[in-house]
């Protein structure tokens, strides 16, 4: 099993044994889009421009081809606000766009030996990606090692932790004892100057989710 990227690790953690992101899990879909954008930012493929818009800086490497759905949209619409990217993939009447991302990243996990491609869904006609337990455990242990031990946090772990926490998935991987230490560590992460690079993405996800809740009530 090869080393995984931020987006690959995030999807692996939220797929669970269902092998897919439900259409009801809108925030998980938003955070998956957020992971794609953050990975492109951290690798210098895209950058923030004036008025909080995103533009391309360089070509997408073959090793990151699973990010093609998001990269291509930015290429077509640049400069484009992150909010527009999330709306296209999550706040729609169909799952087509988010499924395109899940399929691209899911297939990369299969190629990496970290997931199995199967048929599932209500009538068994949907492609799903079931996580390899050893691969998932390796990701969780890496998170645990950095979050619950002293030392500097890597950018990928900060981003992965923030996105898993935002989507409500982080706490299910930790024991009751660990959750106390985790709460203090999360506060430290939020106050870390490194996180400022991610705040725009996380704030936009928050704002869009609030708008969805208001619209549904």
| pLDDT tens per residue, range 81-117 | 888 888 887 755 467 888 899 999 999 999 999 999 9
CA angle 157, 162, 165 (to 5 degrees): 120
Q: Domain for residue 105, yes or no?
A: yes
- Quick check: pTM over 0.75? yes
* DSSP annotation of 4: P
How many helices (H) does the chain have, and how many strands (E)? 9, 5
Q: How many domains does the chain have?
A: 1
Max CA distance (Å), the chain: 48
pLDDT at 11 exceeding the cut of 90: yes
Question: What gap in Å lies between CA 152 and CA 82, rounded to an integer?
Answer: 28
Helix (H) or strand (E) holding 117: strand 115-120
The per-residue pLDDT for range 15-40, each reduced to its tens digit, is: 876 777 776 678 888 889 989 999 99
For residue 78, give the CATH number of its domain. Answer: 1.10.3630.10
Place 51 in a pLDDT band, splitting at 50, 70 and 90: confident
Please compute the mean of the pLDDT values over residues 136-147 and round it to a whole number: 90
Mean pLDDT computed over every residue of the chain: 83
Question: What gap in Å lies between CA 72 and CA 76, rounded to an integer?
Answer: 6
* Structure-model confidence comparison of residues 203 and 138, the more confident one: 138
Q: Domain for residue 201, yes or no?
A: yes
Q: Domain for residue 141, yes or no?
A: yes
**Domain region containing 33:** 6-208
pLDDT computed for residue 70 by the predictor: 95
């Amino acid at each position: 099993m090869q080393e995984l990227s931020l987006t690959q690790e995030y999807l692996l953690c939220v797929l669970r044994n269902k092998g897919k992101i439900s259409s009801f899990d809108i925030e998980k879909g938003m955070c998956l889009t957020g992971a794609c954008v953050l990975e492109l930012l951290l690798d210098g493929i895209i950058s923030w421009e004036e008025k909080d818009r995103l533009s391309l800086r360089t070509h997408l490497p073959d090793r990151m081809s699973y990010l093609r759905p998001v990269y291509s949209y930015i290429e077509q619409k640049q400069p484009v606000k992150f909010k527009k990217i999330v709306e296209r993939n999550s706040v729609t009447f169909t799952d087509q766009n988010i499924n395109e991302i899940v399929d691209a990243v899911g297939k990369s996990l299969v190629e990496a030996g970290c997931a199995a491609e199967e048929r599932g869904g209500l009538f068994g006609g949907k492609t799903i990606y079931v996580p390899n337990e050893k691969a998932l455990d390796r990701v969780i242990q890496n998170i645990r090692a950095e979050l619950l031990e002293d030392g500097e946090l890597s950018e990928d772990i900060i981003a992965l932790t923030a996105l898993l926490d935002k989507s409500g998935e982080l706490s299910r991987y930790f024991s009751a004892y660990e959750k106390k230490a985790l709460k203090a560590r999360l506060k430290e992460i939020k106050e870390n100057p490194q996180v400022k690079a991610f705040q725009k993405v996380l704030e936009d996800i928050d704002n869009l989710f609030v708008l969805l809740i208001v619209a549904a009530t």
